[in-house]
Chain A
Amino acid sequence: MNAFCDISLTVNGERVNERVEARKSLVDFLREDLTLTGSHVGCEHGVCGACTVRVDGEIVRGCLMLAVQCDGASVETIEGVSDSGEIADLQEAFQQRNALQCGFCTPGMLLTAQALLRNGSVPSREDIREHISGNYCRCTGYHAIVDAVTAVAQARAGGRK
Chain B
Amino acid sequence: MKITADVPSPLTALDRPNSYIGRAVPRPNLARMTQGRAQYVSDVVLPRMAHVTFLRSPYAHARIVKIDKSAAEKARGVVAVVTGTELSEVITPWVGVLSHLKGIKSAPQHAIAVDRACWQGEAVCAVVARTRAEAEDACELIDIEYEELTPVTDPETALAPKTPVIHPELGDNLTFERTLDVGEVDKAFAESDAVVEATFLFGRHTGVTNEPRAIVADWNPGEQRLTVYQGTQAPHMMQNLFAKHLGLEEHQVRVLTKDVGGSFGIKVHTYADEMATVALSKLLKRPVKFVADRIESFVTDIHARDHRVKGKIGVKKDGTITAFEIDDLTGIGPYSVYPRTSGIEANQVVNLVGGPYQCPNYRARARVVFQNKNVMCQYRAVGHPIATGVTEGLVDLAAAKIGIDPAELRRKNLYPDDGYPATAASGLKFEKLSHHASLDKILSMMEYEALCAERDAKRKEGIYRGIGLASFIEVTNPSAAFYGVGGARISSQDGATVRLDATGAIFIHSGVTEQGQGAEAVLAQCVASSFGVPIERVRVVTGDTDNVPYGGGTWASRAAGIGGEAAWQAGKALRQNVLAAAASILQAQPEGLDIVNGIVVDKGTTRERITLDEVARICYFRPDTLPPGFQAELMATRHYVPRAWPFAFTNGIQASYLEVDTDTGFVKLLKHWCVEDCGTVINPQLVDEQIRGGIVQGLGGALFEHCLYDERGQMLNGNMADYLVPMAVEMPDIEIGHVVTPTADSELGAKGAGEAGTAGAPAAVMNAINDALRPLGAKPLTAMPFTPGVILRAIGKV
Q: Which residues on the A side are within 8 Å of B516 (C-beta)? A: 100-103, 139
**What residues of A have a CB within 8 angstroms of the CB of B76 in the complex?**
1
| B27 surroundings in chain A (CB, below 8 A) | 95, 98
**Chain A: minimal CB distance from B520 (Å):** 12
Which residues on the A side are within 8 Å of B39 (C-beta)? 37
B133 contacts chain A at the CB level, 8 A cutoff = yes
Verify B262–A102 contact, CB threshold 8 A: yes
Contact status A101-B693, CB under 8 Å: yes
By the criterion CB–CB under 8 Å, are A143 and B293 in contact? no
Q: How far does the Cβ of A139 sit from chain B's closest Cβ, in whole Å?
A: 5
Kindly provide the distance from the CB of B729 to the nearest chain A CB, expressed in whole angstroms: 4
Question: Are B261's CB and A142's CB within 8 A?
Answer: no
Are A129 and B728 within 8 A (Cβ)? yes
List residues of chain A with CB within 8 A of the CB of B734: 141, 143
Question: Is A10 at the interface (CB under 8 A from chain B)?
Answer: no
Binds A, one of B62-70, B92-100, B717-725: B717-725
Contact with B along A93-107 (1 / 0, CB 8 A): 011111011111111
At the interface, yes or no: A38 with Cβ under 8 Å from chain B?
yes
Query: What are the residues of chain A within 8 A of B24 when measuring CB–CB?
Result: 98
A51 to B685, CA, bound (A): 28
Task: Decide if B42 touches A41 in the complex (CB within 8 Å).
Answer: yes
B366 to chain A, nearest CB (A): 29
**Measured CA separation A1–B138 after assembly (Å):** 12
Complex: chain B residue closest to A96, CB-CB? B26
Closest-CB distance, A125 to chain B (whole angstroms): 7
| Cα distance A38–B31 in the bound complex, in angstroms | 13
> What residue in chain A is nearest B42 (Cβ atoms)?
A41
Q: Choose among A47, A102, A125 the residue that contacts B260 (Cβ–Cβ < 8 A).
A: A102
B131 to chain A, nearest CB (A): 8
CB distance from B134 to the nearest CB of A (A): 9
Complexed CA–CA distance, A23 and B515 (Å): 33
List B contacts of A41 (CB < 8 A): 42, 291
Q: Is A138 close to B, CB under 8 A?
A: yes
Alpha-carbon distance between A126 and B27 when the two chains are bound, in angstroms: 28
Min CB gap B205→A, angstroms: 12
Across the interface, which residues of A come within 8 angstroms of B777, CB to CB?
Answer: none
Contact bitstring B28-39, A, C-beta under 8 A = 1, else 0: 011101111111
**For the complex, what is the distance from the CA of A39 to the CA of B689, rounded to whole Å?**
24
Taking the closest CB of chain B, its distance from the CB of A59, in whole angstroms, is: 15
Q: Which chain B positions have C-beta within 8 A of A129?
A: 728-729, 731
Contact A94 B261 (CB under 8 A): no
CB within 8 Å of B: which A131-152 residues: 132-146
Q: A106-B33, A138-B264, A143-B692 are in contact. Are A42 and B133 (CB under 8 A)?
A: no
* A34-53 contacts to B (CB < 8 Å): 35-45, 47-48, 50
Q: Within the complex, what minimum Cβ distance (angstroms) separates A117 from chain B?
A: 15
- Chain A residue numbers with a CB within 8 Å of B757 are 141
Judge whether A124 is part of the interface by a CB distance below 8 angstroms: no
Instruction: List residues of B (180-215) whose CB comes within 8 Å of A's CBs.
Output: 207-212
Residue with the greatest number of chain B CB neighbours at <10 A, chosen from A43, A79, A138: A138
Question: Which residue, of A1, A132, A136, has the highest number of chain B Cβ atoms within 10 A?
Answer: A136
CB-nearest residue of chain A to B695: A141
Cβ of A101 and Cβ of B518 under 8 Å apart?
A: yes
Instruction: Verify if B697 is at the interface (C-beta below 8 Å from A).
Output: yes
Decide: A100 and B133 in contact? CB cutoff 8 A.
no
Q: Count of chain B residues with Cβ under 8 Å from any Cβ of A?
A: 61
Task: Give per-residue flags for B514-532: 1 if the beta carbon is below 8 A from chain A beta carbons, else 0.
Answer: 0111100000000000000
Interface residues of B in 722-771 (CB under 8 A from A): 725-731, 733-734, 757
Question: Could you say which of B45, B210, B259, B721 has the most chain A C-beta atoms within 10 Å of its C-beta?
Answer: B210
Chain A at the B interface: SS class? loop
> Contact between B733 and A45 (Cβ–Cβ < 8 Å)?
no
Q: How far is the CB of A31 from chain B (nearest CB, A)?
A: 8
Among A21, A97, A102, the residue within 8 A (CB) of B259 is: A102
Nearest A residue to B29 by beta-carbon distance?
A103
Q: Is the CB of A100 within 8 A of B294?
A: no
- Chain B residues in 8 Å Cβ range of A17: none
Known: A43-B719, A103-B33. A141 touches B731 (CB 8 A): yes
Distance in Å: Cβ of A103 to nearest Cβ of chain B: 3
Query: Given known contacts A101-B517, A104-B211, A141-B734, is B294 in contact with A44 (CB within 8 Å)?
Result: yes
B728 contacts which chain A residues (CB < 8 A)? 128-130, 132-133, 135, 137, 142, 145-146
**Contact among B36, B291, B696 for A77, CB-based, below 8 A:** B36
| Structural contact, B210 and A142, CB atoms closer than 8 A | no
Most chain B CB inside 10 Å of its own CB: which residue of A50, A140, A141: A141
Q: Would A137 and B294 count as touching, CB distance under 8 A?
A: no
Q: Could you say which residues of chain A place their CB within 8 Å of the CB of B730?
A: 133
Indicate if the CB atoms of A141 and B34 lie closer than 8 Å. Answer: no
Interface string of A74-112 (1 = CB under 8 A from B): 000111001000000001001111101111111100100
Within 8 A of A (CB), among B682-700: 685-686, 689, 692-697
Is there contact, CB below 8 Å, between A48 and B26?
no
Asked whether, in the complex, the Cβ of A38 is within 8 Å of the Cβ of B36, the reply is yes
Given A45-B721, A129-B728, residue A79 in contact with residue B518 (CB < 8 A): no
Residue contact A47 to B35, C-beta cutoff 8 Å: no
B1-39 interface bits toward A, Cβ cutoff 8 Å, 1 = contact, 0 = none: 000000000000000000000001011011101111111
Is A79 a contact of B37 with CB atoms below 8 Å? yes
Residue of B nearest to A147 (CB): B733
Q: How many Å lie between the Cα of A142 and that of B34 in the bound state?
A: 16
Distance to closest chain B CB from A24 (angstroms): 8
* Docked complex Cα distance between A84 and B729 (Å): 30
B27 to A, closest residue via Cβ: A98
Contact indicator B720/A48 (Cβ below 8 Å): yes
A48 to B40, CA, bound (A): 17
Note all chain B residues with C-beta closer than 8 A to A128: 728
Query: Which chain A residues lie closer than 8 Å to B207 at the CB level?
Result: 138
> Which chain B positions have C-beta within 8 A of A110?
34
Identity of the chain A residue whose Cβ is nearest the Cβ of B263 in the assembled complex: A102
Interface string of B222-259 (1 = CB under 8 A from A): 00000000000000000000000000000000000001
Are A38 and B35 in contact, CB atoms less than 8 angstroms apart? yes
Within 8 A of A (CB), among B659-696: 685-686, 689, 692-696
List 18 additional contacts besides A44-B294, A138-B693, A142-B726; criterion CB under 8 Å: A35-B45, A37-B43, A40-B261, A47-B719, A94-B30, A95-B34, A101-B515, A103-B30, A104-B40, A106-B33, A128-B728, A129-B729, A132-B728, A133-B730, A138-B207, A141-B734, A142-B696, A146-B733
Return the 7 tightest CB-CB contacts between A and B, nearest first: A38-B36, A102-B516, A103-B33, A104-B261, A78-B36, A101-B516, A141-B692
Interchain Cβ contacts under 8 Å between A and B, 25 examples: A1-B76, A35-B45, A37-B36, A38-B35, A41-B291, A43-B719, A44-B293, A79-B35, A82-B36, A95-B26, A100-B30, A101-B689, A102-B260, A102-B515, A103-B259, A104-B211, A106-B33, A129-B729, A132-B728, A133-B727, A135-B728, A138-B207, A138-B264, A142-B726, A146-B733
**Footprint of A on B, CB under 8 Å?**
24, 26-27, 29-31, 33-40, 42-43, 45, 76, 133, 137, 207-212, 259-264, 291, 293-294, 515-518, 685-686, 689, 692-697, 719-721, 725-731, 733-734, 757
